[in-house]
Every structure is written in C-alpha cells, then in structure tokens.
C-alpha cells in the first residue's frame, strides 16, 4: 500500500474514532466536563445538564455555581495536584448543588487533558450521581443501628452459628440468662452448655433443617453458670446463600424456665385438685357456656347412681326454680345457690344444695362454671326436727295460759247455763255471750292445733295484717294477765306476701312470746308495718322490757343458747331459717333496761 492510500485510510479512521468518542460522551449517563488550565469551562455533555441542571452558559458566567460555597476552597485544593502535577483523582465523593437548589451526592474522577505534544492543557471530570446509593447506605446504617440496639438490649438471646455449629455472634443477654460473660460463652464449645439428654435433639434438628431448609422451633435445657438448668425455647432460622445453600443459622432463644416451672406447678396443682374432686363426697361438675357438662366427679355415680345430675329427676315443684337460677347464672355470670329435691335410682327423694360459680380467665372472660352440689337431706331433717322441737317448746310454755283461757269461758258458760236453766229460751243476751265465748274457745284450740300438728308447706299470697291480727288475738289474753298493752300500727292493710302461713305465725309468736317474757307488768309492746319500697315490707316488734346486753345479743341464734330459764334456744334459730326461706331478713337490736326491737323484712307479693 502506498503512503497516500495509508494516509487516507488513517484519516478516515480518525474521523470515525472522533464520531465514536463524541457519541460516547453524549450518550453516557455520567456527567462529563472539561475545563482549561484557568478553570474556565470548555465542554459539558447532556448528562451533565440532566444531573446538575446547570447549562454551559451558566458555567461560563460562574464556573463554581454547582459547588456549595463552603466547599469551594476544598474543591480547589483537591484539583490543585491535577493542574500542577498531572495527578489523577478517583472516586472522590462529595456533594453538589443542583440549579433548583437540591443537594445531591456525586462520585468524581478527574484527570489531566494533554495535547498531542503531551502538554497539559486542561482537566476533565467525570461525575456519577450516587444520591440513591447514599440514601440506601444511610438507610442501611440506620437499620443496622436499630437492629443492633434491638439485639443488644433485647431479653431474648440472639445468636448466629456457622454450618458446623460454631458460634459467630451472641447477644449480650446471654449473661442475663445463663450467667456467662460473652467471652466465656464464645470461647467454650457449644455442646458444653446443652443438657446431655437434649444433644440428640439438637443433632436431629440440624439434619432436619439441612434437608428441608425451613424454620424450626425446639425447647432445650442449657446449663447456667451456677449449675442450674435453664429452659430455652429456640427458633432456628436457616440463612441461605444465592444458590440456596445454608450459609449459617440464626437462633432466637427465649428463657421459658418460669413458664415451665409454672406449668409443672399447675400440673401438680391440677393433680391435687383432681384427687380432691374425685374423692370428695360433694358432687363437682364443670359446665361450659352452653350449659353442657364437661366434667363430673366420681361421687355422682357413688351417691346418685348416674354420672351427673339429670334435670328430669328434679322434683317437678322445684324444676322451674332450678332452671331459672342456673339460666340466671349462665346469663349474668354471677354465683348462685339453690336447694331442690332430687329422685334417686331407688325412687327415694333427697335434698340437694347446688352452688354455681363462674370461672374467669386472666382476660376477664368467663371460661366455664363450677357446680358444687351437696346432699343436705340430713341437714333438712335436722332443721325439721328443730322446728318441731321448738313448736313443742312453745306449746308447753303456752299450755298454762291456754288452759286458763279455756277454763274462764267454760266457767262463764257453766254459770250462765245454771242461772238461765229455767228460762234460757227467752234470754237472747245471755245466749249471745255463750256463743261468743264458745267461738273464742274454738279459735284458741284451732291455733293450738296449728302449732302442734305438722303441716305441709304451701306457699301462697296472704294479707300480712290478717296473720298479725291472729297472732295478737292468740296472745292477747296472756298479755292482759300481765297488764301489758299491745299497740298495733298497720299502715297498709292491703299488703300481701307469699308465705307459708303457719310458719310465719310461728315466727311472730316466738318473737311476741319473747317480748311478753321480757316485759314487766304495765309494760308495752308495739307492732308496726311499713312499706320500704315497692318490693319489701318492714314488720317491727318493739318492747320496753329488760333488754339484752351486747355480749349476749351477739350469741342469739346459736342452738340451745337462751337467756330464759326454761327456754331451749331454738326459737330464734328456727325463726331465722323460716325468714331466710321466705327470702327475708331479721335483725335484732337491744339495750339494757330500755327494751328490744326486732325488724323483719319480707318481699311483697305482686
């Protein structure tokens, strides 16, 4: 090839290379700028304007317009070695100000520009926008800082192990739970701390993770520095490489020693209470919120012949009451007590007392209900016996006065009959007196029979004042013998109460008898009734007798304790039981030499 042809080809190649370099400068995403030795701008590419926003004309007017003011001197110093010594600057990270005022992070690489003779004629700077990278690095640093604070301050033990189960990192909380310092724990072999019985579990765990590469959770025992064993619940997370292989393990361990100890204590407690429940004579059952029985103690079968209390075996007269009480407990979630009759397998009736108790969890939600039932047949029989004994005691004390009441009318009748025998048919006044006295005898005798003869309980609405009038009429003669005045103040004679009339009469007679015994001649006894509200009525018996001291008053109601010489001490005990059965209350106040007041409240029949 001749020289002219070679020169032509080289010229064409030079032109081609110049176009290629020009295209590269204009299409690159990095900002490129060239300055002369005086710092004047010679060239910028399109990426420069896109990154910084400044134009070529802007740089002509102010070569340092994109440099923050506080960095101008620093920038001059950085570029001094390039201008004077021809050195290069690589990846110098700094900040620049866009034309819109926004600060961006850039990485600068600068080098000298030389002519064909090798003389330095300027500098070129290639800038790359690293703002997003800086933000990511800052976010990563903040994230690392947060997680480091979390790891270093959490109560859980956070650790990492390599594939050979050698410790890489352990959080400082290891000392809190196991007593070892970080240095002591990291220097020792991992299996030195694990309970011998749990080593196989750890080995199997490692194999499972290697195969399935999934998170697993186990409980293991670690040896504390003081020699005790600590239970740790560990969640093991495999850390995988890009090709899916396990690089290391992340373990998050929580100290569950207290929970394990609590569970063990609970288990022992449950065993103890189950032993009690299965050997007690009471019938214990657990009822869910739907009313279904989930547990029944063996005592049901021993006593009742069935595994639980069956509703259909409750006495028909009591079944509605029992149903209402238990429905109320299930709805309102409050304890209830009810008594009822229950039929055994041999068709005999017994009395049961059931206590329903709601059980609440730690979240204050009602989980289930306990039903504790007791056979109170013997107690009911004893109460009936006490009531009968007290009736006999009252009848014995009243026998003399009743005999006197009967003797006087009989004497009058006998005298009038003897006097009027010749002409009885014509004297109507005398015959009227005789009939009145006979009626009085009939009343007294009938009241005596009421107290003496056992009566079946039959609750029905009865006017309160009629009961009190009958009691006063019954005891009025005894009061007259002692010149004791009985005052009655019945404010509302239309008040009715649901009661067993004979039992309530027994209570009022007991109280009136006590007042008559405690009141001297010419004394006074008052009976008052008063509506407390729409649902209750107050009956107050008060006297001006000898009264009772505070010490003795506190013992009233104890069986066989009495302040009377010939009393049994059962009257008030029986009276309390009767008033309680009628859903009422009884309260006694007294003062020596001033008298005694007995307040009885009873619900009104609506």
Cα distances from 237 to residues 201, 251, 255, 596, in angstroms, run 16, 6, 18, 82
pLDDT for residue 434: 66
Select the more confidently predicted residue: 147 or 14: 147
How far is C-alpha 480 from the geometric centre of its chain's CA atoms? Answer: 64
Select the more confidently predicted residue: 281 or 13: 281
Give CA–CA dist 151/168, Å, rounded.
14
User: SS3 letters for 21-55?
Assistant: HHHHHHHCCCEEEEEECCCCEEEECHHHHHHHCCC
Please return the burial class of 424, using the count of CB atoms within 10 Å of its CB with bins 0-12, 13-18 and 19+.
middle
Give CA–CA dist 403/398, Å, rounded.
8
Give CA–CA dist 450/466, Å, rounded.
16
pLDDT in tens, 375-407: 888 888 877 777 766 665 665 566 546 655 666
Give CA–CA dist 118/124, Å, rounded.
15
pLDDT for residue 128: 87
> What number is the average pLDDT over the span 180-186?
86
pLDDT in tens, 273-321: 666 656 666 788 888 777 788 778 887 787 788 878 888 888 999 888 8
pLDDT in tens, 456-509: 567 788 898 988 988 888 888 888 888 888 888 887 778 888 888 888 888 898
Give CA–CA dist 253/160, Å, rounded.
11
The answer to whether residue 203 scores a pLDDT higher than 70 is: yes
pLDDT in tens, 357-376: 887 766 677 777 888 888 88
Q: Which residue has the tokens 């990278």?
A: 133
SS3 298: coil
Question: Which tokens belong to 19?
Answer: 């176009």
pLDDT for residue 569: 55
Q: Which residue has the tokens 């373990």?
A: 251
The span from the first CA to the last CA of the chain, in angstroms, equals 135
Residues 519, 482 contacting (CB under 8 angstroms): yes
Which span out of 143-157, 348-362, 379-393 was modeled with the highest average pLDDT? 348-362
The answer to whether residue 599 scores a pLDDT higher than 90 is: yes
pLDDT for residue 146: 63
Angle (deg, nearest 10), helices 428-452 and 501-518: 100
Residues 526, 490 contacting (CB under 8 angstroms): no
pLDDT for residue 177: 87
Give CA–CA dist 303/405, Å, rounded.
52
Q: Which residue has the tokens 């290629």?
A: 20
Least confident span in 321-325, 478-482, 573-577, 580-584: 573-577
pLDDT for residue 540: 92
The answer to whether residue 541 scores a pLDDT higher than 90 is: yes
pLDDT in tens, 33-74: 888 888 788 888 888 888 888 888 888 888 888 888 888 888
> What number is the average pLDDT over the span 135-155?
67
Query: Residue 10 — pLDDT band, cuts 50, 70, 90?
Result: very low
> What number is the average pLDDT over the span 345-356?
87
- Above pLDDT 70, what percent of the chain? 76
């Amino acid at each position: 090839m001749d020289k002219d042809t070679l020169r032509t080809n080289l010229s064409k190649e030079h032109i081609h290379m110049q176009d290629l370099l020009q295209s590269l400068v204009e299409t690159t995403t990095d900002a490129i700028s060239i300055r002369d030795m005086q710092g004047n701008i010679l060239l910028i590419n399109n990426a420069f304007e896109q990154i910084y926003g400044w134009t070529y004309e802007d740089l002509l007017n102010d070569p340092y317009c994109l440099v923050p003011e506080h960095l101008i001197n620093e920038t001059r110093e950085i570029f001094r070695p390039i201008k004077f010594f021809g050195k290069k600057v690589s990846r110098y990270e700094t900040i620049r100000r866009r034309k819109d005022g926004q600060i961006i992070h850039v990485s600068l690489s600068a080098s000298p520009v030389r002519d064909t003779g090798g003389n330095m004629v300027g500098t070129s700077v290639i800038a790359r926008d690293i703002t997003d990278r800086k933000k990511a690095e800052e976010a990563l640093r903040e994230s690392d800082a947060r997680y480091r604070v979390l790891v270093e301050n959490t109560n859980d033990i956070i650790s990492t192990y390599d594939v050979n189960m050698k410790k890489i990192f352990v959080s400082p909380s290891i000392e809190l739970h196991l007593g070892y310092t970080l240095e002591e724990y990291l220097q020792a072999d991992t299996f030195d701390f694990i309970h011998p019985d749990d080593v196989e579990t750890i080995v199997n765990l490692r194999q499972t993770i290697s195969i399935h590469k999934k998170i697993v959770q186990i409980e293991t025992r670690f040896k504390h520095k003081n020699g005790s064993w600590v239970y740790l619940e560990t969640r093991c997370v495999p850390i995988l490489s890009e090709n899916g292989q396990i690089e290391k393990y992340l373990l998050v361990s929580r100290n569950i020693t207290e929970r394990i100890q609590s569970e063990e204590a609970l288990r022992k407690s449950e065993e103890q209470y189950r032993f009690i429940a299965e050997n007690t004579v009471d019938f214990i059952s657990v009822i869910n919120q739907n009313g279904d029985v989930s547990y029944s103690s063996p005592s049901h079968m021993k006593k009742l012949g069935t595994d639980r209390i069956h509703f259909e075996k409750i006495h028909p007269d009591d079944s509605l009451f029992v149903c209402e009480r238990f429905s109320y407990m299930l709805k309102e979630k409050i304890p209830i007590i009810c008594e009822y009759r229950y039929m055994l397998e041999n068709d005999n009736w017994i009395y049961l007392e059931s206590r329903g108790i709601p059980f609440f969890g730690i979240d204050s939600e009602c989980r289930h209900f306990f039903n504790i039932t007791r056979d109170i047949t013997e107690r009911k029989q004893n109460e009936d016996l006490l009531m009968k004994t007290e009736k006999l005691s009252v009848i014995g004390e009243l026998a003399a006065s009743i005999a006197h009441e009967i003797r006087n009318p009989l004497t009058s009748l006998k005298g009038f009959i003897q006097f009027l025998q010749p002409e009885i048919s014509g004297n109507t006044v005398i015959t009227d007196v005789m009939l009145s006295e006979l009626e009085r005898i009939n009343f007294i005798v009938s009241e005596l029979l009421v107290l003496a003869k056992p009566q079946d309980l039959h609750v029905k609405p009865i006017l309160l004042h009629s009961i009190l009038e009958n009691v006063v009429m019954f005891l009025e003669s005894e009061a007259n013998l002692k010149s004791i005045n009985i005052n009655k103040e019945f404010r509302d004679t239309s008040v009715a109460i649901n009661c067993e009339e004979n039992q309530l009469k027994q209570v009022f007679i007991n109280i009136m008898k006590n007042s008559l015994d405690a009141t001297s001649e010419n004394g006074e006894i008052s009976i008052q009734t008063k509506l407390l509200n729409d649902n209750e009525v107050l009956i107050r018996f008060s006297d001006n007798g000898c009264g009772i001291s505070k010490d003795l008053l506190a013992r009233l109601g104890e069986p066989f304790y009495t302040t009377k010489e010939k009393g049994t001490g059962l009257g008030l005990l029986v009276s309390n039981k009767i008033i309680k059965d009628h859903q009422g209350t009884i309260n006694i106040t007294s003062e020596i030499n001033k008298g005694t007041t007995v307040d009885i409240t009873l619900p009104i029949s609506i």
